[in-house]
Amino acid sequence: MECHFCGNQNKHAFFNFKGSWRCRICISFIHQMELDLQKRHLSMHESEYELSFDLTPAQQRASVAISNHIKHQDVLVEAVCGAGKSELVLKSIKTALLQGQKVVWAIPRKQVVLQLQARLQHIFKALNVVGVCEGHTEQVDGDLIVCTTHQLFRYYQKVDLLILDEPDAFPYKDNPMLARFVENAVLGRIIYLTATPSVAMLAQVKNKKLAHVQLYVRPHHHPLCEPIITICSKWFMILKVVRLLARQTKQTLIFVPTIKSAQLYGKLFHIKVLTSRSENKEAIVQSFINLEIQFLICTTILERGVTFSNIDVLVLGGDHPVFDMASLIQISGRVGRDVKYPSGACYFFLNAKSKAVDQCLTYIKTANSYVCGV
C-alpha cells in the first residue's frame, strides 16, 4: 500500500474511513490542494527584471546555458557559495512568464522564503511575488511564488517551472514525502540550484537525464576561503578559541554541532546563541546584520540562506557527524561573499581526523583552481 500523494508506505499510517483507505500523514493538509491558480501571459514590461549590477561574463554564459537547456530537460546548476546562483535563473523565469507558465521557487528552509520573496519583488518590480511558508499562507497564488518545499503540496500538478533551491539541505534532503511533493507539483521542468549536488544528482548528469551548468567563480574573482585545520583536545580547543576571539576585530560566526553544545559554549564564552529552539531567531540574525553583535554561536541553522557582509567563521567539533561535506562547504562559504570584503578566515577545530573535512578541502581547492586558471 502506498499513498499516491505523499508516498507513505507504512501500513500502520493508514486507516479505513467509510470503506476507503486514508493516509494519516497527509490527511491534515490534503483538503488544501484544490487551488485554482491563475495563469496569464505577462507582457514584456511586466516580466522584465532589473538588477543593480551587471552579471559577469561567466554568469551571463551560465544564464544563457540554463535558458537553453531548460527547453529540453531539467537542469542542475552547480555554483559555488557566493557565485550568485539566484541571478543565473532570472532569464529562464522571464521566458517562462512570457509563455504564461506558472513559476514556483521552492526552498527547504522557512527562514529564507520571505527574504527571497522581498528580493525577487525588488528585481521583478511589476510582478506580484508571493511568499508562502508557515505563518504566511493567506495568499498562496501570484505571478511568481516563493515557498518552502513543504508548501508544494498546495500546487498539485500546477507548476510549469520549478526552481528547487538547495535540494541537499535539511529538511528536503532524504525526505521521501517532500520529494513526492515535488514530483506531484511539477508538470514541466525543474532547475536545481546547489553548491553541493548529491551523488544521485551527479549520476543523473552522467546518464544524460540532467543538463549540468557549473559556475566555480565568484563575481569578485577571489578564491574561496580555505579553512585552517586544528586537531586537538576539547580543552586545548577552548583555550585556542578564547585567545583567537580576544584578538578578533571582525564579526565571527561560531558553528557548533548540537543545541546542547551551543548552550554550553554560549555560557562558557558569554556569547549570544542561535539555534532552532531560539524564540527570537529573526531578531538575533538582524542584530548580527546590524553589527550589534560581534560574536554569535549557532548550529547549522545558519549554514546557508543568510548572507553576512564581512565575517570570519569558526567550527568547533568539525569532525562531528552533523558536519558532512556539504555542510562544511556551505559554512566555509559564508566567508568572503561581499565584493567589498572578498576575503576572510575560516577555522575548523577537530578532535580527530574527518573524511568530510578532507572532502570539503578537496572541493574548495578544486573550485579555486578554476579561479587561478590551473
Q: Does residue 306 lie in a domain region?
A: yes
**Do residues 180 and 271 share a domain?**
no
- Residue 317 CB partners (closer than 8 Å, separation 6+): 256, 257, 261, 323, 349, 350, 351
**Nine-digit cell at 272?**
549570544
**Nine-digit cell at 256?**
557548533
**Do residues 12 and 40 share a domain?**
no
Identify the domain boundary among 215, 245, 278.
Answer: 215
Question: pLDDT band for position 32 (50/70/90)?
Answer: low
**Do residues 244 and 206 share a domain?**
no
Q: Does residue 105 lie in a domain region?
A: yes
Nearest to 197, CA basis, from 347, 102, 74 = 74
Q: Does residue 321 lie in a domain region?
A: yes
**Do residues 173 and 270 share a domain?**
no
Question: pLDDT band for position 42 (50/70/90)?
Answer: confident
Q: Does residue 314 lie in a domain region?
A: yes
Rounded Cα–Cα distance for residues 312 and 358 (Å): 20
- Helices (H), ranges, 186-318: 199-206, 234-246, 259-269, 281-289
**Do residues 132 and 69 share a domain?**
yes
Residue 305 reports pLDDT greater than 90 = no
**Do residues 357 and 255 share a domain?**
yes
Identify the domain boundary among 155, 181, 215.
Answer: 215
**Do residues 67 and 199 share a domain?**
yes
pTM: 0.88
Between 355-371 and 325-332, two packed helices, what is the crossing angle to 10 degrees?
A: 50
Q: Does residue 89 lie in a domain region?
A: yes
Q: Which helix (H) or strand (E) holds 270?
A: none
pLDDT tens profile 50-79: 998 999 999 999 999 999 999 999 999 999
CATH number at residue 88: 3.40.50.300
Q: Does residue 303 lie in a domain region?
A: yes
Question: pLDDT band for position 374 (50/70/90)?
Answer: very low
**Do residues 258 and 194 share a domain?**
no
Question: pLDDT band for position 44 (50/70/90)?
Answer: confident
**Do residues 155 and 301 share a domain?**
no
- Residue 308 CB partners (closer than 8 Å, separation 6+): 251, 253, 288, 289, 334, 337
Identify the pLDDT of residue 19.
73
**Do residues 241 and 366 share a domain?**
yes
pLDDT tens profile 160-197: 999 999 999 888 998 988 999 999 999 999 999 999 99
End-to-end CA distance of the chain: 54
Residue 373 reports pLDDT greater than 70 = no
The per-residue pLDDT of the chain, averaged, comes to 92
**Do residues 252 and 338 share a domain?**
yes
**Nine-digit cell at 136?**
504566511
- Residue 107 CB partners (closer than 8 Å, separation 6+): 113, 116, 146, 147, 148, 149, 165, 166, 305
Q: Which residues span the domain enclosing 23? A: 1-34
Mean pLDDT of 335-347: 96
Q: Does residue 144 lie in a domain region?
A: yes
**Do residues 9 and 40 share a domain?**
no
Question: pLDDT band for position 10 (50/70/90)?
Answer: confident
Identify the pLDDT of residue 2.
76
pLDDT tens profile 131-148: 999 899 999 999 999 999
Q: Does residue 330 lie in a domain region?
A: yes
Cα within 13 Å of Cα(166), Cβ side: 23
What is the total count of domains within the chain? 3
Question: pLDDT band for position 111 (50/70/90)?
Answer: confident
pLDDT tens profile 248-265: 999 999 999 999 999 999
